[in-house]
Structure 1
Amino acid sequence: MRSSLALIATAGIVAAALTGCSSAPAAPEATPGQSSGVVVVEGDFGEEPRVEFPSPLAPQETQCSEVIAGEGERLQEGQQALISLAVFNGSTGEDIQYAGFGDEEPIAVTVSDSTLPGLKKALECAQVGSRVAVVVPPEDAFGEEGNESLAVSPDDSLVFVIDVQRAFPARADGAARLTRDGFPAVVLAPDGRPGITVPKNDPPKELQTEVLKQGNGETVEDGDAVVVHYTGVLWNDNTVFDSSWQNGAPATFVVGEGSGAQVIPGFSKALVGQQVGSQIGVIVPPSEGYGDEGNAQVPAGSTLFFVIDILGVI
């Protein structure tokens, strides 16, 4: 039985919320065990795997075994990863979902306490380029409620096979730069979340951009899909009207001057030409923002200020 990816997302398997990123990876909570060791996975990385395991599997804790070795450091709290995912009912042996393999777009998921506990532990034992087999007990899966839409009962375990295609930093990691006098002040929390203070003076009438941290990664080009963290405030009262940090995960937008752009013109113009790893501040006048109409969050004629962390280009 195969269910839609929408059901998996609704169930919380790929739900995400951002939290802080530590300076060094902590030891993974999930380690190899007897249950994960009996999951047999065949096939190439990135391609839909052939998976066999005896059922029922009834692990006492989440277990994770590496099937294909990756490179670099393990995923950390706060990082967004692009993964391919196969999910099975570990008690019945039924398959639940295959997604992101082959020509399918990978799934974006953030390592977070708001992610299904077993999936978070699975991600924290993985690296970019690795394939892991993970067996999850009911308490790290859907617990006492189970998930009727996925035919998962309260006592059912889950089995994940995960290929980690890419991972993005949790925050901009470029070198800090000074900004000019009169520009909004930005103070960062330990997890990278910006606190913004807009000056009392009247806003400029033209788009203004400052590089707060200078990255050295790929340059953003017109038409790129860009992974960002951002916070936007209203100039007149410093109110946050939109924030990926508050929404729980980095966002991905297409930027540029064409009809395919998914953000306001000032946001796009600020990003195009910048490098991954940079953090930028941008003052957006109404003509480059929501104009004289505004929207539900932005009053008509509003000048905006954004702090944007450029985490990657897809």
Structure 2
Amino acid sequence: MRKFTLTSIVPRALAAVCAAGMCITLAACGGSNDSDSSSKKSDSTSSQSSDTSALKDMKQIPGITATGELGKKPTIAFKTPKSVDNNSYAVLQNGNGAVIGNDDRVCSQGIAISVKDGSELDSTWEKNTPDCSLDLSNQNVTAAYRELLVGRKLNTTIAFGVNDSNSSGTSYIMVLTFVSKSKDYTKATGEEVKDVPANLPKVTRAKDGKPSITMNGYKGSDKLVAQTLIKGKGKTVTNKNTVKVKYTGWLLDGKQFDSSWDKNTTLDADTYSGGSNTVIEGWQQGMVGQTVGSQVLLVIPPDLGYGNKAAGSIPANSTLVFVVDILAAY
């Protein structure tokens, strides 16, 4: 039997909402941010009664309960052995905290429970390591998941069925309690750094935060340069985080080869190897030690970039120059 860890279970449980064709509806479904809306979600039956509900194709998990103080680790009970479907859920506890909004980042504590015998496979509660990867401002969040969460209150507990079809055949119920929320930055916000070395490229910013660059005769570096331009006041990024960023990249001749600003998108990038949001090593190293809200100038030599291979419009053996705004870290 494989080893269960919440770092792999939580994203898969969240992804279960996207199973069975649920990803076809990605737009926000207009859940209310008024505090009254959470009381209207006292159960999910009312949501399913509408033909227009994004939840209408999601099965509910019968016969499962949660007891205990809201916002604390719940006690989960159901008759075993139990069968569950992917794309299934049950609202177990209605919360008593702040109302979850359309553009919040929501953190959850989780318990994975075997449906075979009710044993606990893993939990984040004991080490207090909530998962904060759920970004409701991301338009790729399914309409069903958005409808299920937006307008509810923090400390709500929801169970999701995960019918594992891999070789271990271990199906489980993922019980998530949504314990906190925040809003990501939309651009770097903090103190302008005054002592930026004069020989580096010069960065200016438009009113909306979009950076422009003048290479200033800069010839590059054979070592990674990670120069903070704006010092944010958020959490410090570690080598175990994923960062949400906006960025623009240039070659040393000043030619821009990519920009999330131009595409009005953001990027999630892992600061470690082997994650699902893998980026070049120069990015992994350059983000560590920075703070959320910061803007960072990265100069990445070829051996920490794409090396002796071309990548799209980036020639082989290129030194890369990026300006990166760190909007969140989780």
TM over 0.5: yes
Counterpart residue identity of residue 205, structure 2 = V
Q: Quote the residue 1:130 is aligned against.
A: 155
Contact (CA 8 Å) 2:248, 2:258: kept in 1 or not? yes
Distance 1:250 1:47 in 2: 34
Superposed CA offset, 1:157-215 (max 9, x none): xxxx974345454224432334455524242564x5x3333436343224322212212
The residue that corresponds to 1:81 in the other structure is 106
Paired residues of 1:176 and 1:213 also in contact (CA < 8 A)? yes
CA distance in 2 between counterparts of 1:49 and 1:248 reads: 39
| Residue number among 270, 292, 311 corresponding to 2:286 in the alignment | 270
Question: Per-residue deviation at 1:304?
Answer: 1.5
CA distance in 2: counterparts of 1:34 and 1:238, whole angstroms: 54
CA RMSD of aligned residues (A): 4.9
Structure 2 residue 321 is matched with structure 1 residue 308: no
1:209 aligned partner? 226
SS in 1 for 2:315: coil
**1:55 aligned partner:** none
In the alignment, the residues of structure 1 paired with residue 176 and residue 246 of structure 2 have an alpha-carbon distance, to the nearest angstrom, of: 28
Q: Is the 8 A contact 2:215 2:254 kept in 1?
A: no
Distance in 2 between the 1:276 and 1:113 partners?
18
Partner of 1:36: 41
* CA displacement at 1:300 relative to structure 2: 0.9
| Corresponding residue SS for 1:37 | coil
Larger mean CA deviation between 281-290 and 109-118 belongs to: 109-118
Choose the corresponding residue for 1:67, options 86, 94, 102: 94
Using the TM superposition, give the Cα deviation of residue 132 of structure 1 relative to its aligned residue in structure 2, in angstroms. Answer: 7.2
Q: Which runs of 5+ in 2 are unaligned?
A: 1-11, 45-63, 79-90, 111-121, 159-174
Separation in structure 2 between the aligned mates of residue 112 and residue 245 of structure 1, nearest angstrom = 18
Cα 1:84–1:122 change in 2 (3 A) is farther
Residue 239 of structure 1: which of 238, 256, 263 is its match? 256
- Please say if 1:196 is aligned against 2:212: yes
Contact (CA 8 Å) 2:17, 2:145: kept in 1 or not? no
Read off the aligned partner of 1:216 and give its amino acid letter: K
SS of corresponding position for 2:41: helix
Displacement of 1:251:
0.9
What CA distance in whole angstroms lies between the structure 1 residues aligned with 2:283 and 2:317?
16
Three-state SS of the structure 1 residue aligned to 2:237 is coil
Over residues 16-67 of structure 1, what are the superposed CA-to-partner deviations in whole Å (9 max), with x where a residue is unaligned?
99xxxxxxxxx8168437852355974454658789xxxxxxxxxxxx9x92
Alignment partner of 1:9 out of 5, 8, 18: 18
SS at match of 2:282: helix
Aligned match of 1:142: none
| Equivalenced residues, count | 244
Q: Is the 8 A contact 2:246 2:327 kept in 1?
A: no
C-alpha distance in 2 between matches for 1:240 and 1:130: 44
Match of 1:254 in 2: 271
Residue matched to 1:228: 244
Q: How far 1:292 sits from its partner (Å)?
A: 1.8
Asked whether the equivalents of residues 216 and 277 of structure 1 are also in contact (C-alpha less than 8 Å), the reply is yes
Whether the 8 Å contact between 1:30 and 1:122 is mirrored in structure 2 is: no
Shift of 1:290: 1.4
Determine the structure 1 residue equivalent to 2:315: 299
The counterpart of 1:185, out of the listed 187, 203, 218, is 203
Q: Following TM superposition, by how much is the alpha carbon of 1:123 offset from its aligned partner in structure 2, in angstroms?
A: 4.7
2:299 to 276, 280, 283: 283
Aligned twin of 2:136: 111
Give the TM-score, by structure 1 length: 0.56
Letter in 2 for 1:284: I
